[in-house]
Structure 1
Amino acid sequence: MRLNQNILLLGKKVVLVPYTPEHVPRYHEWMKSEELRRLTASEPLTLEQEYVMQHSWREDADKCTFIVLDAEKWRAQPSTSEESCMAGDVNLFLTDLGDPSLGEIEVMIAEPSCRGQGLGTEAVLMMMSYGVTKLGVTKFEAKIGQGNEPSIRMFRKLHFEQVAVSSVFQEVTLRLTMSEPERQWLLEQTSHVEEKPYRAGASEPR
């Protein structure tokens, strides 16, 4: 969506930036992995199709996408491209026309060296905080493949509860409703996050 195209969110372990054409080649390389396509229920795309997808995700009002950068690499190499710091992506889909307060959230840490270090957890917390404070989201859902135990465990640690299992799609649905205590907990978890202006291709102060 256009709302987040000019902002950067700076956390401790990750930096969230809008998905731009600069990121497409690395993203395309990731999605050649059969395992990642299976875990994300994605179809293989050509590079050209990936650029079209990136453009549509930026324009669509019901999709909020950030590329997840490894903050350690991003800070240590201020002159390098963002592409070399990419770890994955995090998305929020506002696709329920009858309930604009419901957002489906998903995260992918695609870079093998970045897994198991808490990057996905912080990225989800930051996206949830953005959804609550900027988009009016009060309920979150995550649909995860039944075999993706690490992701299921992560969302459960973030207070999500399983509400459904689909044998057809081989996935579980977890949900979190933002009560006032949950909202306060979320804002405390993300109180360190800084919002900065973002310009694609520009060197940001680090």
Structure 2
Amino acid sequence: MRLNENTKILGKKVILVPYEEKHVEKYHEWMKSPKLQELTASEPLTLEEEYEMQRSWRNDDDKCTFLILSKEVFEETGNEIESLIGDTNIFLSEDEELTGEAEIMIAEKGFQGKGLGWEAMVLMLKYGAEFLKIQKFCVKIGELNEKSLKMFSKLGFEETSRSTVFKEVTLDKSVDNSWIEFLDNNGGNWDVKSYR
């Protein structure tokens, strides 16, 4: 999405940056993992297809993505590729209201279960509500992905449907002022800056 191509978001433990060409090779290596493919409902892509996907994410108005950096590693190394631990996305659709389908992935095992996914998702939800003017969020999670189901439940999302065919659960959350305040109080302290 062009709106966020020059935006970085600084949190307490993470930094969100736009997905650029320089990140593609590491991202492609992650997505060779059958486990990550299963958790993200993704198909394996060739490296060239991954570059095409990155360009699509950059140019399409209905997709917003940020890559997640470990703030601690980045402050030690100054290297985005070494600091890269995952991504977070929003797919936009408009029916009666602007809806964003949110996703989160912490691909680097050593950074899982440390609260970085929580903070990155909170920051992305805030960005979606405040900058993209999303009125409702939804997530689609594999029914066996208990960690994600638990996290989004803690974020106030409620189950709205379950697909036995796709083996996934859909949860929704409408945006209102009290929920934004909840995000602010639960990891949503941020500094939005120019990426360049």
For the criterion TM > 0.5, the same-fold answer is: yes
For the Cα contact (< 8 Å) 1:129–1:190, is it kept in 2?
A: no
Distance in 1 (CA, whole Å) between partners of 2:16 and 2:96 is: 26
1:146 aligns with 2:143: yes
Residue 86 of structure 1 corresponds to: 84
In the superposition, the TM-score normalised over structure 1's length comes to: 0.92
Distance in 2 (CA, whole Å) between partners of 1:130 and 1:190 is: 13
Distance in 2 (CA, whole Å) between partners of 1:144 and 1:48 is: 28
Distance in 1 (CA, whole Å) between partners of 2:77 and 2:110 is: 17
Distance in 1 (CA, whole Å) between partners of 2:188 and 2:151 is: 20
Distance in 2 (CA, whole Å) between partners of 1:125 and 1:191 is: 6
Residue 166 of structure 1 corresponds to: 163
Structure 1 residues 27 and 99, CA gap change in structure 2 (3 angstroms): farther
In the superposition, the TM-score normalised over structure 2's length comes to: 0.96
Distance in 1 (CA, whole Å) between partners of 2:22 and 2:58 is: 13
Structure 1 residues 27 and 87, CA gap change in structure 2 (3 angstroms): same
Residue pairs, 1:7-46, within 5 angstroms: 7-46=7-46
Shift of 1:89: 0.2
Residue pairs, 1:50-69, within 5 angstroms: 50-69=50-69
1:118 aligns with 2:137: no
Look up the equivalent residue of 1:63 and give its one-letter code. K
Other structure's SS at 1:41 match? coil
Distance in 2 (CA, whole Å) between partners of 1:35 and 1:49 is: 20
Distance in 1 (CA, whole Å) between partners of 2:64 and 2:11 is: 18
Other structure's SS at 1:182 match? helix
The Cα offsets for residues 10-31 of structure 1, whole Å up to 9 and x where unpaired, read as 0011100000001100000000
Distance in 2 (CA, whole Å) between partners of 1:93 and 1:146 is: 20
Shift of 1:134: 0.5
Shift of 1:190: 5.1
Other structure's SS at 2:101 match? strand
Residue 127 of structure 1 corresponds to: 124
Shift of 1:189: 3.6
Shift of 1:101: 1.8
Look up the equivalent residue of 1:64 and give its one-letter code. C
Other structure's SS at 1:124 match? helix
**How many residues align structurally?**
196
Distance in 2 (CA, whole Å) between partners of 1:191 and 1:44 is: 33
The Cα offsets for residues 30-83 of structure 1, whole Å up to 9 and x where unpaired, read as 0000010011111110111100100011000000000000111011112xx311
Other structure's SS at 1:102 match? strand
